[in-house]
Amino acid sequence: MNSAPIEAAALTYTDDGVPFSARYRDIYHPRAGALTQARHVFIHGNGLPGRWQGRERFVVLETGFGLGNNFLATWQAWRDDPQRCARLVFISVEAHPLSRDELARAHARSALPELAGELQRAWPPPTSNLHTLDFDAGRVRLLLAFGDVQAWLPELVASVDAFYLDGFAPASNPRMWDQRVCKALSRLATPGATLATWSAAQALRQHLRTAGFEVTLGQGTGGKRDITLARFAPAFAPRRAPARTAARAEVEPRALIIGAGLAGCAAAWALAEQGWRSTLFERHSQIAAEASGNPAGLFHGIVNAQDGVHARFNRAAALRARQAVQVALDVHGVAGAVNGLLRLESAASPAGMRAMLRALGLPGDYVQALDADEASARGGIALRQAAWFYPGGGWADPAGLARAWLERAAPQAELRCGTEIHALQRSDTGWRLLDAAGRTLDEAPTIVFANAGAALPLLGRPDWPIDRVRGQISTLPAAALALPLIPVAGAGYLLPELGGGRAMFGATAQRGDDDASVRADDHRTNLDQLAQLIGHPIDADPAAMLGRTAWRWSAVDRLPLIGAVPDPDAPALRLDQPRFVPRVPGLFVFMALGSRGITWSALGAQLLASWISGAPAPVEASLIDAVDPARFVSRRARRSTAS
Ligand SMILES: Cc1cc2nc3c(=O)[nH]c(=O)nc-3n(C[C@H](O)[C@H](O)[C@H](O)COP(=O)(O)OP(=O)(O)OC[C@H]3O[C@@H](n4cnc5c(N)ncnc54)[C@H](O)[C@@H]3O)c2cc1C
Ligand SMILES: C[S@@+](CC[C@H](N)C(=O)[O-])C[C@H]1O[C@@H](n2cnc3c(N)ncnc32)[C@H](O)[C@@H]1O
């Protein structure tokens, strides 16, 4: 997807105080009031609240988030309705997001001050991502797509029940209303989906009809005689890619998860958010005993000159991790901090780094370019290099995070430690998990492999291009060196003081090394890396140092594997794109989290849960393709067509 830098809103006010866009020369809402329009046109026009009553999930998609008044009114209507749906998902696309301060000013006299305040506090940095904002314990989820409507609609993966069309007037804002938009809406619409908009433009009504909507006029408000109402009733059902069709409603909402590290525990939480129950099987006597068992690890975004899928996925994940780790710290008492991270830069100058940020349009609340002095001031120790500063980065205890995910999943998740899965077998209802003696441990239609590389033999897929890399971290008494205030990363990393008066740094990276012991030689390697990082050697005896060894599993393209297990032998019309590759029913993987399990686990788990449950995906289609385990099948298919 084209990720053009976000252009800020040009919000001003008319003399009588109505919000006005200098860019589009139009008001944001009628003088009669935003909430009056929201309730009459969008909420009642879509048959709400009646249509969401008794439903597990109801999905609204809006074009033009603007000041968020339609969202606030819908959220309030949901709160006020005793028969409301269990989960409300509100997706909105906005090309020119307001700043947090502008939003606060626009809501200064809101009739919904409590909700407006919550929205302001959750307001994300203006990056071209799909931002997830959770309210009311996650039962109201706002997915905010920052960028152009025509770039975003084809990238959304969702089944939408109601559409709100709320661009500026078609004459000044034609991109929000044209045939391409209406066609893209029809691809997202569930059968019977409704649509409402204040515009009664002839051309719009014609575009909607062509896209499969039945269109009527409704009574207008705020000086408008008519509004447009529509219902999706296409003559032919639109074809959807097999891998992107929502889970069948009749499937029992229960999953068996193999592995209770960061991936498995996050999966249990994300599934619980969608109303699913799960049972986790862990071969050790406790959770997070393998890769996820280090005393601490860091998390942060990345910057690439090309804002390709790596940069976009890592940014989306880092933004999600920032929120999720903060909750783990505040509510679940996990050790860590979300107060920024420095990543040293050796290739580019501070001026070059700033130019790159300008070209990419990345905001300062996501990343900043610092020279060595600024970096030293931030880090609280002398640093000799320029650095990227990620304000939303930090460090956390991964086992604590895994525990926090499970606590968030309770009571919908059951944990069975000391239980190793040795095989799986098809059964009448789905899949059976077997122990070493071939006894059935449990049975369900949906299985999640969150057991890192140990999934490959169970799945019978030893050929998947993922590999394991040994890593050893080192620790010293905190008094042995000057520690930074926030994590510093480069070639290796150094964390701020951990609980218990320890300093931690590392880590080695060794392919093809199966030695589980903690080695003095590796401490020496870590001390050398540390000396590079902080500019001077530390006097420590490697033979007397403590550490820990584990393995990270990574795919060749350094992205995780998240999604349904491909079945390349099943008949298929095409394999060149992951979304067309057939899948083994009921089998999913969440693995190969590499060195980024803390950054990736929250977003990755939500993507997995959306795939399993049919909830709107928290990332765009091109990122789903980028982490889809079927991408390797597609690459092979494209290579064989090309040769
Ligand atoms: C040295 C080192 C430093 C790192 N530093 C960082 C860092 O700073 N930041 C960061 O984000 N990440 C870091 N990582 C990476 C991070 O730890 C991993 O990405 C993450 O822990 C992977 O989580 P996981 O749940 O996929 O795997 P694991 O934590 O390995 O969990 C898999 C679980 O599956 C269980 N299992 C396997 N097979 C079976 C079976 N058949 N039946 C039942 N249970 C089974 C295992 O016992 C294990 O508990 C580091 C990793 C290492 C090794
Ligand atoms: C009338 S306002 C929306 C008001 C909003 N729904 C509310 O409740 O406050 C129209 C919005 O559409 C946005 N917009 C205009 N062109 C766009 C485009 N091409 N893609 C996405 N959003 C766009 C504008 O920035 C503006 O915020």
What pLDDT, in 10s, does the model give residues 265-323?
A: 999 999 999 999 999 999 999 999 999 999 999 999 999 999 999 999 999 999 999 99
Can you give the pLDDT at residue 32?
87
Mean pLDDT of the chain: 95
In this prediction, residue 249 carries a pLDDT of: 59
- Res. 128: pLDDT tops 90: yes
User: Which candidate, 317, 568, 586, places its Cα nearest to that of 449?
Assistant: 586
Q: From the CA of 416, which ligand is nearest?
A: 1
The tokens of 390 are what?
Answer: 């990620």
Name which of 51, 39, 43 is nearest 161 in CA terms.
51
Q: Which residues contact 563 (CB under 8 A, 6 or more apart)?
A: 243, 588, 589, 607, 608, 611, 624, 627, 628, 629, 630
Residue 244 — very low, low, confident or very high, per pLDDT cuts 50/70/90?
low
For 256, counting Cβ atoms within 10 Å of its Cβ (0-12 exposed, 13-18 middle, 19+ buried), the class is buried
The single-letter DSSP state of residue 329 is H
pLDDT in tens, 195-210: 999 999 999 999 999 9
Torsion of CA 425, 428, 430, 431, to 10 degrees: -20
* 32's tokens: 């009669």
Cβ count near 595 (within 10 Å): 17
Task: Report CA(456)–ligand 1 centroid distance (Å).
Answer: 15
Listed residue (448, 444, 419) closest to 432, CA to CA: 444
- Specify whether the CB–CB gap between 581 and 633 falls below 8 A: yes
Q: pLDDT by residue (tens digit) across 430-439?
A: 999 999 999 9
Tell me the CA–centroid distance for residue 65 and ligand 2, in Å: 5
The CA distances from residue 246 to 188, 376, 377, 616, in Å, are: 11, 50, 50, 9
Neighbour count for residue 233 (Cβ, 10 Å): 12
How far CA 220 is from CA of 165, 296, 428, in Å, comes to: 15, 58, 55
Is residue 451 lining ligand 1, measured as CB closer than 6 Å?
yes
For ligand 1, say whether the CB of 317 is within 6 Å of any of its atoms: no
- The number of angstroms, rounded, from the C-alpha of 122 to the middle of its chain's C-alpha atoms is 15
Q: Are 255 and 444 in contact (CB under 8 A)?
A: yes
Q: Which residues line ligand 2 (CB under 6 A)?
A: 9, 28, 34, 62, 64-70, 93-96, 148-149, 166-168, 173, 175-176
**Phi, psi (5° rounding) for residue 423?**
-165, 160
Q: Which of 10, 5, 4 is nearest to 99 (CA)?
A: 10
Other C-beta atoms within 10 Å of 483: how many? Answer: 22
pLDDT confidence band for 97 (50 / 70 / 90):
very high
Gap from CA of 167 to ligand 2 centroid (Å):
5
Cα 168 to middle of ligand 2, angstroms: 6
pTM exceeds 0.85: yes
Which atom from ligand 1 is nearest to the alpha carbon of 549?
1
What's residue 127's pLDDT? 96
Structure token digits, residue 59: 């999905």
pLDDT for 489: 98
| Smallest CA separation from ligand 2 atom 15, residue | 167
Contact indicator for 618, 576 with CB cutoff of 8 Å:
no
Rounded to the nearest angstrom, the distance between the alpha carbon of 483 and the centre of ligand 1 is 26
